[in-house]
Amino acid sequence: MRVAGIGCAAILLLLGQESMAQFRKSNFVPYSSVSLGIGTSSYYGDMAPYGRPIASTFGMMRWSATANYERHFTPRLGARASFTWARISGDDFKMNGGGKGDSFLFARNLHFRNDLKEFALTGIFKLTPDSRSYDRRPQLGAYLFAGIAAVAHNPVARVPDIEGDQWVRLQPLGTEGQGSPGYDKPYALLQLAIPMGIGVRYKINARFDVAAEVGFRFTSTDHLDDVGGNFPDPNVLKDDLSRSMSNRSAEPTAARKGGDRTDGLRSFIAERYQISDPNIDPFVVIQQTDFASPGTLRGNSPTYNDTYMTGTVKVTYILGSPIKCPPLK
């Protein structure tokens, strides 16, 4: 994230200098715009590995919505304040084909859902510069954007063995021992992120544009999914609910959407522990192994923070600016 931030600042500085030079050569009239958009969201992290980009992007794709205010200072340079609400989700059972994918992730059997509320300030560099005024902007244009954002999040998961659709917040449970002596502090529910992306816009008429964007958010946390460390000693966890949400390997069905885990877990035990007796109960055996023993890895990408991507289609309304006429002499 630090490298991305330095690169973002350098790019914006260079592009801004070029844009200001062009501005001095023109009589550009600054203008403002507002937009609303809807689209998709995808998450990359411990339940959606970076090494499987296609599956991670499309396997658990969810929705996003955004509202923006933009100020266009020069033919090439602008700035944006935006609010985005995006839902991200992950599920070990679904992402690993009911036992046909990564056997460790399938055996882990975690899932989550997280509604992200993002407020961002970004700079915009137009690859296709505007003309002198907003109504003369090109019919088709492309642009880059990058900046900084604050992201409020709160991951939840479905409670096992309860009828209905009961979901519980995971951060207060300390599923990796957070808050207990000898463990990390609870992770923050407000994080920083660096948004970067590219967009293409089309001019409908003098006042309206339609645009499509793809943007990545590189966050400062590995816990958008509540997973990022090791299995804790179950004795330090607060209660039975915390223990059941921390280690879900012995659940016979996948809690998020259902699904029998028997065959997949039986295959994992045979592969990992060379226990292939067809008469064994794999849900009893997994509890007798070292699979979730204290200190063993619970996350699968401890060196990378979580990332999410949004794809957005938006409609923009140009507020415009009064065109100043030269004084009469």
Contact assessment for residue 83 and residue 67, using Cβ atoms and an 8 Å cutoff? yes
The pLDDT of residue 64: 98
* pLDDT for the residue numbered 3: 46
Provide long-range contacts, Cβ within 8 A and 24+ apart, for 266-272.
267/99, 267/103, 268/99, 268/103, 268/104, 268/106, 268/107, 271/103, 272/103, 272/107
- Asked whether residue 249 is domain-assigned, the answer is yes
Task: Find the domain containing 145 and state its range.
Answer: 2-29+36-318
For 163-203, the pLDDT digits (tens) are 567 899 999 999 999 999 999 999 999 999 999 999 999 99
Is 94 inside any structural domain? Answer: yes
d(CA 64, CA 43): 12
Determine, yes or no, domain membership for 21: yes
Q: Are 60 and 91 in contact (CB under 8 A)?
A: yes
pTM: 0.86
- Structurally, how many domains does the chain consist of? 1
Please indicate, yes or no, if residue 324 is contained in any of the structural domains: no
Residue 328 lies in a domain: no
Show the tokens assigned to 116.
């992200």
Taking residue 107's Cβ as centre, other Cβ atoms within 10 Å add up to: 26
Q: Residue 326: inside a domain, yes or no?
A: no
pLDDT attached to residue 26: 57
Closest to 144 measured CA to CA, from 169, 124, 158, 116: 124
| Contact between residue 225 and residue 45 where contact means Cβ atoms under 8 Å apart | yes
Gap between the Cα atoms of 193 and 154, Å rounded: 15
* pLDDT beneath 70, residues of the chain: 1-26, 99, 161-164, 301-303, 320-329
CATH code of the domain covering residue 273? 2.40.160.20
In tens, the pLDDT along 84-113 reads: 999 999 999 999 887 677 788 999 999 999
Q: How far apart are CA 160 and CA 273, in angstroms?
A: 26
Supply angle C-alpha 14, 16, 22, rounded to 5: 110
